[in-house]
Amino acid sequence: MHPCSAQTADSAALSTDKNLRNKVLSDIQDNLDKKTKAIDQTLSKLDNKVDSLDLEIAATRDAREKADKLLLRVQALEQKQLAIEENELYVYQANYQSAIINLVSMDKEIQPLLLFNSAKSFFSTLNETADPMKYPGYQEWYKKFYAYIEKEKDKDPALNVLHDMVQITGNITSATPIAGPVCQALFLGIDSYITSLGSKKKDLRAESQRMFLLTAKLSQFDYDKDLIEQQWDIVTNDLGKLQVHYDTILNQNLALLKVSKEEYGRRFAKETDAEQRYQFLTELRKNASGLVTGRKAADAKNWKQPIYYELMDVQSLKLRFGELTFDIRGIISRYNDLVFKYKNDPEIGLKVQALGVKLDAMSDTFDSAFDPTEYVNSATRMYLVN
């Protein structure tokens, strides 16, 4: 499959997953709205009943009748309290259902495979752009330069150092920093080589000067690139940590709902039929609702606290992932700046322009799959407040 086709398929799959998640979340909201509406109607009737009883109690002078009315009023207030508590249960049920659906739906989002698969082509081109050996004529020239190093190393300490570095790296120009002894040794070596050519070898001297300029440009490019890659490495490491934390939270909640990892994998993670996945999510949310009901029945005083912790765990996962998507978007923007800086350079501009095409593809893949602002906002609004 062509890489672009694979990226499109991955993005479409993720889009389908989002639609599936939103459908189930909509089901949860619709169900809660119906229950809340019924509760509101009950509370309204009870409030009216209490108000009516208050008027009747104030108007009657019969002690027995007043006592009966007071009893009815107490009963109405008790019914109102039960309705309020029932509504609280409904809200917790809906919130925990929402947490579970969001949690399992993060499975494919939180794994950086979609973005990083599309990034393979970009990073391959990025490394080629920074490698002077990929530029026309450089390999042949380098052989002549290396022959000079071999010949003169015993006469010149700087060339001897450079020779030793070549023995260690195999190709000193494949990863040359812009500053430090390695760069200095290489540049001094090239300068010495150009000087040694004299005026008789004009063509080789001119070629060597071009290669010197190319090497210097690529050293600067490589330096700028490495600054961005340091950020990328940090984000990649943070994503790995988040994946571990996500797996812990997911396994913990699946265990609470008595769903095995095997069933989860078979019926959701590896299932390709959208309808089957929807059925699984529907069952999962019903199990979540039942868990909340069971918790309240088992411990009417402290049932909310453990549910609250589960809600916060899922919300913090979504928020952290949203923050990381912001970081990735920032890194992609910095790569855009890198391309813009060098795309018109006479020595490396053409390769940088080709790199820009790959960067645009990676950026489009990211934007089609992730919206950092929406992700963070949805995380902050994912629960109802009772």
Q: What is the mean pLDDT of residues 364-371?
A: 85
- Amino acid at residue number 87: N
- Which element (helix H / strand E) includes 86? helix 63-110
Q: If DSSP codes are grouped into helix, strand and coil, which group holds residue 111?
A: coil
The residue behind tokens 């039942």 is 290
User: Do residue 246 and residue 319 come from a single domain?
Assistant: yes
- Same domain? 251 vs 362: yes
Count of residues in the chain: 386
- Is 250 in the same domain as 312? yes
Residues 184 and 257 in one domain: no
Lowest mean pLDDT among 12-16, 100-104, 187-191, 299-303: 12-16
Identify which of 105, 17, 90, 11 has the alpha carbon closest to the alpha carbon of residue 317: 105
Burial-class residue 173 by CB neighbours within 10 Å (0-12, 13-18, 19+): buried
Lowest mean pLDDT among 23-32, 113-122, 125-134, 344-353: 113-122
Buried b (16+ CB within 10 A) or exposed e, 225-237: beebbeebeebee
Is residue 207 located within the same domain as residue 261?
A: no
Distances (CA, A) of 215 to 76, 129, 149, 220: 86, 12, 17, 9
At 117 the pLDDT is 61
Record the tokens describing residue 107, joined without a space.
């499975």
- Confidence grade of residue 113 (pLDDT, cut at 50, 70, 90): low
List, in order, residues 6 or more apart from 224 with CB less than 8 Å away: 338, 341
pTM over 0.75: yes
Please check the confidence at residue 181 and state whether its pLDDT lies above 50.
yes
Domain assignment present for residue 385? The answer is no
386 located within any domain: no
Instruction: Please check whether residues 163 and 273 belong to one and the same domain.
Output: no
- pLDDT at site 352: 97
Mean pLDDT score of the chain: 88
Model confidence over 71-95: pLDDT tens digits?
A: 999 999 999 999 999 999 999 999 9
Q: Pull the structure tokens for residue 159.
A: 């060339």
If one counts every other C-beta atom within 10 angstroms of the C-beta of residue 289, the result is 20
pLDDT in tens, 32-75: 999 999 999 999 999 999 999 999 999 998 999 999 999 999 99
Specify the pLDDT at position 163: 83
Are 25 and 120 part of one and the same domain?
yes
261 and 360 share one domain: yes
State how many domains the chain has.
2
**pLDDT tens-digit series, residues 194-223:** 999 987 899 999 999 999 999 999 989 988
Burial class (CB in 10 A: 0-12, 13-18, 19+), 94: buried
Task: Look at residues 219, 243, 276 and tell me which one is the last residue of a structural domain.
Answer: 219
CB 278 within 8 A of CB 24: yes
Of 167, 195, 219, the one marking the end of a domain is 219
Distance from the Cα of residue 211 to its chain's centroid: 41
Planar angle of CA 239, 224, 243, nearest 5 degrees: 5
Nearest to 99 by CA among 301, 318, 245: 318
Query: According to the model, what pLDDT value does residue 118 have?
Result: 61
Q: What is residue 169's predicted lDDT score, i.e. its pLDDT?
A: 59
What mean pLDDT do residues 271-292 have?
A: 94
> Would you tell me how many other CB atoms lie within 10 Å of the CB of residue 47?
13
Range in 286-290, 315-319, 346-350, 375-379 the model is least confident about: 375-379
